[in-house]
Amino acid sequence: MWVLAAKLFPFRQYIKHVQLIPSRSVSALAHLRLICSDSELEESSVNNEHNDEIKCSFSYLNTREVVEKLYSLRKEPKIALSFFEQLKRSGFSHNLCTYAAIVRILCCCGWQKKLECMLLELVRKKTDANFEATDLIEALCGERPTLLTRLSDAMIKAYISVGMFDELVECGKVDMALAVYQHLKRLGLSLNEYTYVIVIKALCKKGSMQEAVEVFLEMEKAGVTPNAFAYSTCIEGLCMNGMLDLGYELLLKWEEAGIPLSAFAYTVVIRWFCDQNKLEKAECVLLHMEKQGVVPDVYAYSALISGYCKFGKINKALLLHHEMTSKGIKTNCGVLSVILKGLCQKGMASAAIKQFLEFKDMGFFLNKVCYDVIVDSLCKLGEVEKAMILFKEMKDRQIVPDVVNYTTMICGYCLQGKLGDALDLFKEMKEMGHKPDIITYNVLAGAFAQYGAVQKAFDLLNYMKRHGLEPNFVTHNMIIEGLCMGGRVEEAEAFLDGLKGKCLENYSAMINGYCKTGHTKEAFQLFMRLSNQGVLVKKSSCNKLITNLLILRDNNNALKLFKTMITLNAEPSKSMYDKLIGALCQAEEMEQAQLVFNVLVDKGLTPHLVTYTMMIHGYCKINCLREARDVFNDMKQRGITPDVVTYTVLFDAHSKINLKGSSSLPDALQCKEDVVDASVFWNEMKEMGIRPDVISYTVLIAKLCNTQNLEDGITVFNEISDRGLEPDTVTYTALLCGYLAKGDLDRAIALVDEMSVKGIQGDDYTKSSLERGIEKARILQYRH
């Protein structure tokens, strides 16, 4: 079969053909018209006028005619090859079809050297071919096994000779790499360690770990000693296939066996531990490799630094970077950019800028990415002039700003309302040959709308269209929100109404605009109008609206919005649940808070510690202690450890209720355990190793004083200072009330003097308590 089109059969069929070795008849032109696609048979004319005779002969040839000519010369390979080369020199663009034709001829006549040279040219990309050398194998997979054997042999030699065998694996052609390996074995060729390692790598990428181990064993049986890279490849394969612990265990076993392992093997394990947020384990691996005499390189440190940055532990990353450089390990701009990005992602833009300047002073090379991060940070902080200094510095250092850099600076000026400077940069950008993208135009459109240049915003839309760039929904959203931010809400409404083909995102932008400018009522009305039509705006817009409603303490409409989302099968965000529960608990609307809490749990979500604590506090505020304890127990059953705040809330509520009685639901009151001694929570907290804070101690002091245990209260008060904590106004007031209740006016006045010396100002309650105590003491003194 004369197969000239690429990728007609899966590559596994090629393997099958080689193994079964069937004989096939050959018919060239009978199949040519069926196999060659229209795109492959586009005409290719000869452009080179170097040779009049060649020009005359070849100028009108197309792919089909070339293939037919080569087929006619199949028994005269020398002439066929000469014809093929003349076409190439004359400017004819050979494609997969013509290459397949000449390769078939070379294979059939056994011209292996010529075939290898031709394939080597393709592998080294020394031709203008628009296909890969390996595509030829797939294109000819239906040919005779002898032809395929010769082609495969030549292909292997071509790839190995230029060290590109692993490219098959890297570009995802894993099956092809494995087929090449099998063919090498069938040919009886001696495989080197390089070939084995690439095959192991391919199997690992495919997830076939058992087969990878078998190849590793084959390697040892063949007398090929595995090198450090082979061991590292196996470890990496286990890690990438979800067997990280096994990979590390294997590393330790090989280590014990005295097998030489490179720093890369340890780096692989460090990187995967970091990806799984097992940072302590990753650092242990780094320390362990040093103990084994393997010096960590910049890549090992970089993997751990990246892990710390990814999970917000920036200080650890900085300490590790300092440790690395102090050991003489040269840092690189990749590591520095990771640190700078990590600082920015944690909201520490100012710290990132400071760190950037320190890096610069230390003489570290800072690349474009580092500059990008800091210029962006400065613009967001409103320090656009400082950003411009760095922007110019980039150019002085031959770092050419791109569209992103220009857009960042334009955005910085727009945020400050400096539209003139923004437009100057826009012009400079175009003069430098950079074509503004949709983001650049969107930034300008939003700024024009916000700062009163409304007509310029509309003109910009027309300008975009004239230059072949169609405004998208983001462009329109920027104008809508910009108009709102500029106090032109009615103009924003008019723009939205007049917008052709308006979409859901545009309505979301209108709601955002309303929320940003305090038009919460209008935002809610628009939300309800759309939801009544079965349409729901973006979740982020719902979140903004519910936040605004809760700020206004409009809990009813906030609940209505929440229930509407549930009805329309939209999943509220976790933060939305938390905000709503918090507001309802604050308002002591515990029935509604419990309803929202139940929806959260029914959705399969696990409430945060803070959410649980808010619910407990809400029930405690209305003296429903049984319900508070139910929530507390549910929290512990889910594996969420209470903190000092949770225990303090329960301890405080039970301290007070022991004196007053509970207001739990009727059925809860019937339980003998409805009233629990407050000390249970204090003792449990201490047993769990949770150290009390000032607030906890204050609650305990108040309890002791209220139960006529003043001396114990004084002991606890002194314990606060012994622990290095500072009592606050409330703490002093609690003890003061204890003194006054006992009529101990002298110690009460001494305590107030101590407050004054420490600069602790008493509040109105402190002063009124002292006044009442003095008055009470005088009355008692008068009676006596």
- Over 50: is that where the pLDDT of 2 sits? no
Residue 260: the pLDDT is 81
Residue 182: the pLDDT is 72
Residue 239: the pLDDT is 87
Q: Region 17-22: what's the mean pLDDT?
A: 30
Tokens of 557: 């409409």
Q: Tell me the C-alpha distance between 126 and 118, whole Å.
A: 10
How much is the mean pLDDT over the chain?
83
Residue 204: the pLDDT is 82
Residue 69: the pLDDT is 87
Q: What percent of the chain has pLDDT over 90?
A: 47
- Over 60: is that where the pLDDT of 138 sits? yes
- Over 80: is that where the pLDDT of 531 sits? yes
Q: Which residue has the higher pLDDT, 231 or 30?
A: 231
3-state secondary structure of 117: helix
777 in the Ramachandran plot: left (φ > 0), alpha (ψ -120 to 50) or beta? alpha
What DSSP state is assigned to residue 234? H
Residue 145: the pLDDT is 76
> Would you say 10 and 24 are in contact if contact means Cβ atoms under 8 Å apart?
no
Residue 183: the pLDDT is 62
Contacts of 445 (CB under 8 A, 6+ apart): 457, 460, 461, 471, 475, 478, 479, 482
Q: Tell me the C-alpha distance between 208 and 186, whole Å.
A: 21
Residue-wise pLDDT for 477-503, tens only, equals 999 999 999 999 999 999 999 998 889
Q: Region 257-261: what's the mean pLDDT?
A: 84
Residue-wise pLDDT for 567-612, tens only, equals 998 889 899 999 999 999 999 999 999 999 999 999 998 999 999 9
- Greatest mean pLDDT range, 17-21, 198-202, 560-564: 560-564
User: What confidence category does residue 7 fall into, taking pLDDT thresholds of 50, 70 and 90?
Assistant: very low
Residue 59: the pLDDT is 52
- Over 60: is that where the pLDDT of 10 sits? no
> Would you say 324 and 298 are in contact if contact means Cβ atoms under 8 Å apart?
yes
> Would you say 110 and 120 are in contact if contact means Cβ atoms under 8 Å apart?
no
Residue-wise pLDDT for 349-381, tens only, equals 999 999 999 999 999 999 999 999 999 999 999
Q: What is the DSSP string of 407-446?
A: HHHHHHHHHTT-HHHHHHHHHHHHHTT----HHHHHHHHH
Residue 207: the pLDDT is 81
Residue 287: the pLDDT is 94
230 residue type, one letter: A
Tokens of 480: 């809508």
Residue 114: the pLDDT is 85
Residue 19: the pLDDT is 32
Phi, psi torsion values for 356, nearest 5 degrees: -60, -45
Closest alpha carbon to 624 in 658, 593, 663, 570: 663
- Over 80: is that where the pLDDT of 455 sits? yes
Residue 542: the pLDDT is 94
Residue 156: the pLDDT is 65
User: What confidence category does residue 40 fall into, taking pLDDT thresholds of 50, 70 and 90?
Assistant: very low
Q: Region 616-644: what's the mean pLDDT?
A: 94
> Would you say 701 and 716 are in contact if contact means Cβ atoms under 8 Å apart?
yes
Q: Which of 111-125, 264-278, 682-696 is predicted least confidently?
A: 111-125
3-state secondary structure of 470: coil
Closest alpha carbon to 481 in 531, 452, 517: 517
Q: Which of 59-68, 128-137, 251-260, 576-585 is predicted least confidently?
A: 128-137
CA gyration radius, the chain: 38
Q: Which residue has the higher pLDDT, 151 or 734?
A: 734
User: What confidence category does residue 746 fall into, taking pLDDT thresholds of 50, 70 and 90?
Assistant: confident
Residue-wise pLDDT for 185-219, tens only, equals 665 555 667 778 878 888 887 788 888 888 888 88
- Over 90: is that where the pLDDT of 118 sits? no
User: What confidence category does residue 122 fall into, taking pLDDT thresholds of 50, 70 and 90?
Assistant: confident
Tokens of 611: 């959410």
Residue 765: the pLDDT is 77
Q: Region 621-626: what's the mean pLDDT?
A: 92
Residue 426: the pLDDT is 95
Q: Which residue has the higher pLDDT, 19 or 57?
A: 57
Distance of CA 445 to the CA centre of its chain: 29
Q: Tell me the C-alpha distance between 436 and 36, whole Å.
A: 42
Distance of CA 603 to the CA centre of its chain: 24
Residue 206: the pLDDT is 78
Tokens of 696: 């906890």
Residue-wise pLDDT for 402-453, tens only, equals 999 999 999 999 999 999 999 999 999 999 999 999 999 999 999 999 998 9
User: What confidence category does residue 552 fall into, taking pLDDT thresholds of 50, 70 and 90?
Assistant: very high
Q: Which of 127-141, 251-265, 686-700 is predicted least confidently?
A: 127-141
Q: Which residue has the higher pLDDT, 346 or 767?
A: 346
Closest alpha carbon to 57 in 29, 92, 96: 92
Long-range Cβ contact pairs of 183-191 (< 8 A, separation 24 or more): 183/18, 183/149, 183/152, 183/153, 183/156, 184/156, 186/18, 187/149, 187/153, 191/222, 191/224
